[in-house]
């Protein structure tokens, strides 16, 4: 059997289970922090939900030691995916015997990793625990995934006090909860200081035009498929028609359910650049340099506040209310008129950046998580 790839030199193995690119980004600084603990080493297991772009994201943080889970199913049904992941992660744990496991967020990989750890009697920590929209089916299936994972985990790493309060209201013990800040702040601060301006990056310099204003748009979530996404695209088209100094970059999700709608409405529209999914560095550069962001992404809701870039959230609900209460974001849903009106309100200002403290953390969340894991392992040694 091939020896597993490891990061760090300590004796105790911490298994970090990752499926999607957002998980990879938010877990990367945690993996590095674990590797820097003298008694630990990190063991990265990737399930392949976003195989290429997730591994590329880890490379941005100089993490290349990856172990791949062999999942044979090609089904797009959630139950099939969850079953295959649970079976595979459980089998992997039976062979490699981690002392501790970490899962992240609200994905099928995160939930399956928590359940596999529970079944294997491996203590498991949930990074980014406690986020809630208040609606079990919105977003679907993410809201259910994170609620279920929180019930199974040994330790709940809540990114904010609001997330901690959510967990306490659900009856989870305060002893299990540690408020850490969000690890995405750690990731963004690490990368932003070394990334060139967006217009100078290889991926973007031949795409971006001379227009003064720049908007970044991302949309892909399941609850926006169909008519909501069509309304979003119509709003984007109206924005560039109204604001002649504005150009839009829209990385198109490869799922044909998304791609077909976006291309049908926006292909060949002047000053709207439909591009393939970007590297994380290019995405961060755009978030930093943009005048406005419109998104249904959870991760971007946490990243954009680091740069003070105003954010319009293309969803009915958000499990990240901190961005709203801080004045850095606004929930606009998918109504075409609402989107265009709110965008116009922001773009009429000569300077759009908002000078506010990032409500999601101070850049040291990963060290807090690694220290908590190390202390637990030492306490039961």
CA distances from 372 to 27, 68, 113 (A): 15, 26, 19
273 vs 278: CA distance, rounded Å: 12
Task: Note if the bond before 139 is cis, omega within 30 degrees.
Answer: yes
DSSP state of 194: T
238 vs 232: CA distance, rounded Å: 10
Q: Which residues are catalytic?
A: 106, 128, 142, 220, 222, 253
The two counts, helices (H) then strands (E), for the chain are 14, 13
167 vs 128: CA distance, rounded Å: 12
Strands (E), the chain: 12-18, 40-46, 67-68, 100-104, 124-127, 155-158, 177-179, 213-218, 246-251, 272-275, 292-295, 311-313, 329-331
Residue 246 and residue 324 in contact, taking contact as beta carbons nearer than 8 Å: no
Name 103's Cβ contacts closer than 8 Å, sequence gap at least 6: 17, 109, 110, 111, 113, 114, 117, 124, 125, 126, 127, 149, 153
């Amino acid at each position: 059997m091939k020896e597993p790839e490891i990061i760090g030199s300590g004796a105790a193995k911490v298994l970090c289970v990752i499926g999607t690119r957002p998980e990879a980004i938010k877990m990367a600084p945690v993996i590095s922090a674990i590797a820097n603990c003298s008694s630990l080493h990190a063991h990265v297991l990737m399930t392949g939900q976003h195989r290429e772009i997730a591994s590329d994201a880890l490379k941005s943080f100089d993490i290349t030691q990856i172990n791949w889970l062999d999942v044979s199913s090609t089904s797009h049904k959630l139950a099939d995916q969850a079953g295959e992941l649970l079976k595979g992660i459980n089998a992997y744990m039976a062979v490699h015997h981690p002392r501790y496991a970490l899962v992240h967020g609200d994905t099928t990989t995160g939930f399956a990793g928590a359940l596999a750890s529970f079944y294997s009697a491996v203590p498991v920590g949930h990074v980014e625990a406690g986020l809630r929209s208040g609606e079990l089916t919105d977003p679907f299936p993410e809201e259910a995934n994170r609620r279920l994972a929180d019930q199974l985990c040994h330790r709940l790493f809540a990114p904010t006090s609001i997330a901690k309060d959510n967990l306490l209201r659900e009856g989870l013990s305060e002893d299990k909860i540690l408020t850490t800040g969000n690890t995405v702040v750690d990731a963004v601060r690490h990368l932003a200081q070394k990334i060139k301006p967006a217009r100078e990056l290889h991926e973007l310099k031949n795409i971006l035009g001379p227009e003064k204003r720049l908007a970044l748009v991302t949309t892909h979530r399941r609850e926006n498929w169909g008519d909501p996404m069509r309304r979003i695209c119509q709003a984007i088209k109206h924005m560039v028609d109204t604001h002649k100094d504005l150009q839009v970059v829209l990385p198109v999700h490869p799922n044909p359910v998304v791609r077909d709608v976006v291309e049908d409405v926006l292909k060949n529209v002047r000053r709207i650049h439909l591009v393939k999914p970007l590297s994380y560095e290019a995405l961060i550069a755009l978030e930093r340099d943009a005048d406005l962001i419109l998104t249904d992404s959870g991760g971007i809701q946490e990243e954009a506040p680091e740069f003070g870039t105003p954010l319009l959230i293309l969803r009915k609900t958000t499990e990240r209310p901190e961005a709203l209460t801080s004045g850095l974001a606004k929930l606009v849903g998918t109504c075409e008129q609402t989107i265009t009106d709110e965008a116009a309100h922001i773009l009429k200002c000569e300077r759009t950046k908002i000078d506010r403290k990032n409500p999601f953390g101070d850049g040291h969340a990963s060290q807090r998580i690694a220290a908590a894991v190390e202390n637990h392992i030492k306490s039961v040694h």
